[in-house]
Amino acid sequence: MLIFEQSRQGRRAQAQAPALADESADIPDNLLRTEPPKMPEVSEMQAVRHYTRLSQKNFSIDTQFYPLGSCTMKYNPRACNSLAMLPGFLARHPYAPEAMGQGFLACMYELQEMLKEVTGMPAVSLTPAAGAQGEFTGVAMIRAYHDARGDTGRSEILVPDAAHGTNPATATMCGYKVREIPTDRQGDVDLAALREVVGSGTAGIMLTNPSTLGVFERRIEEIAAVIHEAGGLLYYDGANLNAILGKVRPGDMGFDVIHMNLHKTFSTPHGGGGPGAGPVGVSERLEPFLPLPIVGYDGDEYYWITEEVRPQSIGRLSAFMGNAGVLMRAYIYARMLGHEGMHRVANFATLNANYLMARLAQAGFDLAFPERRATHEFIVTLKRQQKELGITAMDFAKRLLDYNMHAPTTYFPLLVPECLLIEPTETESKEDLDAFVDAMVQIQKEAETSPELLKEAPHTQPVRRLDEVRAAKQLDLVWSGTVA
């Protein structure tokens, strides 16, 4: 039932509304609203019960194993939330003077410093609000760099065919043409194909390393050399930074610009689809173009670095400073981990992925890249099951929900047929991983003996499989009923 359907005229959460103030006589009549907006009238308890019950219809990290590949669904420490929500931080107006926010700015400055260290990039801006905005920022800086040098003939961004969809979408938003680079059989970028297309029209390349195929791009140094020789720049998509934290740094691999997904690697909550935070790090030659604001420190006070001292900045990305509260959570997480804890992130994320991959392979599942190490994630392909049993990756995914486990990422990356991209993260225990293997084995048996169990799955959720075609054809985006 929708909240609107529980509404009764005249019922309200009385404690939440201020007393009725004087009529707004000075507002011209033609600018006033004539009908109230469609909103429910419910008591406070009704609202609390309704939304608490809705929450219970969600899978989440706090309630289920959530091995969603490329999303790094690790435990979000509760302290990060409660400390970021201390009243002193929540009360800060974004335009309050620096002197009234030294505590907050100190956290932001120290976060910048730590991110420089873990990425090997000499300068950082925290302001991008999410990974995709970080990507936009990175490519916009690449463009600004070439433009500032009068090098305006570069019209192409190269993107491997395994890349996340935001990469090509971002390049287009920055006014570039996108050229896809094929992947070789081992999961690495096809270097020969790359050499063929690189040239004076190449503005740069967008790479994720480890790639979305769950493997480390081994010839990254050669790729960097090829791009740099042609005058292009390398963009690092930090989606998979969790796999290499403290092991290898994008700056050392030769990247010129990188974004980080703090909602992945630094364990800030995904919130049912955001908020994220996508800080960017750059090499020295790109530093003048970083988006603002950035936090500076003169040894005594923290302050905002503004356009006056960074005239070449690509500018602002939001009205204020970005997702400050997310950055605070990431800062707290980073301080709790410390440098020793960061090393362990990559160690145990990689151990868990390789263990799960080995166990699934031993249980008879086909790996997309059996001869490669898993990074923090790996791919199982159900091509054989699809051919022999007519069972798809989607069927496996939906059946896993009945086993009270969230499904891995399905049908991404696009170039592996019937794929499950599985990322267990470092915070899962061996027992949880074993339980996942058991569920997969059991589902495989069901696929062979009673495939309808999979085809009809899920059976245990609030709804069964939904008619997505109808959702897109007969659009129902807003409730059309009348509030009682």
Partner 1 sequence: MPFIPHTDSDIREMLAAIGAGDIEDLFDEIPKSLRYGELSGVPTGMTEQEISRLMMERAETDGRPLCFMGAGAYDHHIPAAVWQITTRGEFYSAYTPYQAEASQGTLQLIYEFQTMMAGLTGMDVSNASLYDGASALAEAVLMAVRGNRKSRSRRVLVPTTVHPHYRRTTRTIVDNQGIELVEVPYCSDGGNTVPDSLRHFEGEDITAVVIQHPNFFGILEEVDALTDWAHSQGALVIAIANPTSLALLKPPGAWGENGADIACGEGQPLGVPLAAGGPYFGYMCSKQALVRQMPGRIVGRTVDRDGRHGYTLTLQAREQHIRRSKATSNICTNQGLLVTAATIYMALLGAEGLARVAHACHANTRALVEKLTENEYVEPLFNRPCFHETALRFSLPLADVMRPLYAHNLLPGYDLAQDYPELGNALLVCATETRTAADIDLYADHLNRVISAQTVAGCPVKPKMA
Rule CB under 8 A: which of 273-302 touch partner 1? 273-276, 291
Residue 117 touches partner 1, criterion: CB under 8 A = yes
Given candidates 153, 165, 364, 390, which one binds partner 1 under the rule CB under 8 A?
165
Residue with tokens 């989607």: 394
Angle at which helices 131-148 and 166-173 cross, to 10°: 40
N- to C-terminal Cα distance for the chain? Answer: 14
Using CB under 8 A as the binding rule, whether residue 233 contacts partner 1 is answered as no
Q: Whole-angstrom Cα distance, residue 186 to residue 215?
A: 9
Q: CA-to-CA distance for 162 and 239, rounded, in angstroms?
A: 13
With contacts defined by CB under 8 A, name the span among 379-387, 416-424, 441-449, 462-470 that binds partner 1: 462-470
| 149 touches partner 1 (CB under 8 A) | no
One character per residue 70-99, x = contact with partner 1 (rule: CB under 8 A): -x-xxxxx-x-x-xxxxxxxxxxxxxxx-x
Tell me if 131 contacts partner 1 by CB under 8 A. Answer: yes
Q: What is the DSSP string of 91-153?
A: T--TTS-GGGGHHHHHHHHHHHHHHHHHHT-SEEE----SHHHHHHHHHHHHHHHHHHTT-TT
Scan residues 433-452 and list those touching partner 1 (CB under 8 A).
none
Provide, rounded to whole angstroms, the least separation between the CB of residue 232 and partner 1: 17
Nearest CA to 356 out of 341, 343, 340, 367 is that of: 367
Query: In the complex with partner 1, which residue's Cβ is closer, 220 or 260?
Result: 220
* Residue 70 · residue 409 · CB < 8 Å: yes
Asked, as a colleague might, if the bond just before 413 is cis with ω within 30 of 0, I would say yes
Q: How far is the CB of 10 from partner 1 (least distance, A)?
A: 9
Binding mask 342-371 for partner 1 (x = CB under 8 A): xxx-xxx-xxx-xx--xx--x---------
Nearer to partner 1, 389 or 437 (CB): 437
Q: Please tell me the distance from the alpha carbon of residue 65 to that of residue 352, in angstroms, as a whole number.
A: 13
Which residue, 47 or 193, has its beta carbon nearer to partner 1? 47
Cα separation of 226 and 220, whole Å? 10
Q: How far is the CB of 181 from partner 1 (least distance, A)?
A: 14
How far apart are CB 388 and partner 1 at their closest, in Å?
25
Q: Which range, of 9-17, 228-236, 282-290, 382-390, touches partner 1 by CB under 8 A?
A: 9-17
Binding-site member from 122, 246, 296, 417 for partner 1 (CB under 8 A): 246
Edge to edge, what strands does the sheet with 409-410 contain?
Answer: 366-367, 378-381, 419-422, 409-410
- Report in angstroms how near the CB of residue 177 gets to partner 1 at its nearest: 8
Nearer to partner 1, 239 or 448 (CB): 239
- Coil/strand/helix, residue 282: strand
Q: Under rule CB under 8 A, which residues in 398-427 are in contact with partner 1?
A: 398, 401, 406-407, 412, 426-427
Establish whether the linkage from the previous residue to 182 is cis, with ω within 30° of 0.
no
Closer Cβ to partner 1, 185 or 388, answer by number: 185
Nearer to partner 1, 147 or 448 (CB): 147
Cis bond before residue 451 (omega within 30° of 0): no
Nearer to partner 1, 302 or 388 (CB): 302
Distance, CA of 148 to CA of 130 (rounded, Å) = 26
Per-residue DSSP letter, 398: H
Cα angle for residues 313, 314, 317 (degrees, 5° grid)? 115
Instruction: Confirm if 252 and 224 have CB atoms less than 8 A apart.
Output: no
Is residue 308 at the binding interface for partner 1, with CB under 8 A as the rule?
A: no
Who's near 20: CB < 8 A, 6+ residues apart?
Answer: none
* Segment interacting with partner 1 (CB under 8 A) among 172-180, 195-203, 296-304, 381-389: 172-180
Residue closer to partner 1 (CB basis): 172 or 450: 172
Nearer to partner 1 by Cβ, of 252 and 388: the residue is 252
Q: Is 241 in the site for partner 1 (CB under 8 A)?
A: no
Indicate which single residue of 162, 198, 213, 332 sits in contact with partner 1 (rule: CB under 8 A).
332
Nearer to partner 1, 40 or 231 (CB): 40
Interface region with partner 1, contact rule CB under 8 A, candidates 162-170, 198-206, 297-305, 446-454: 162-170
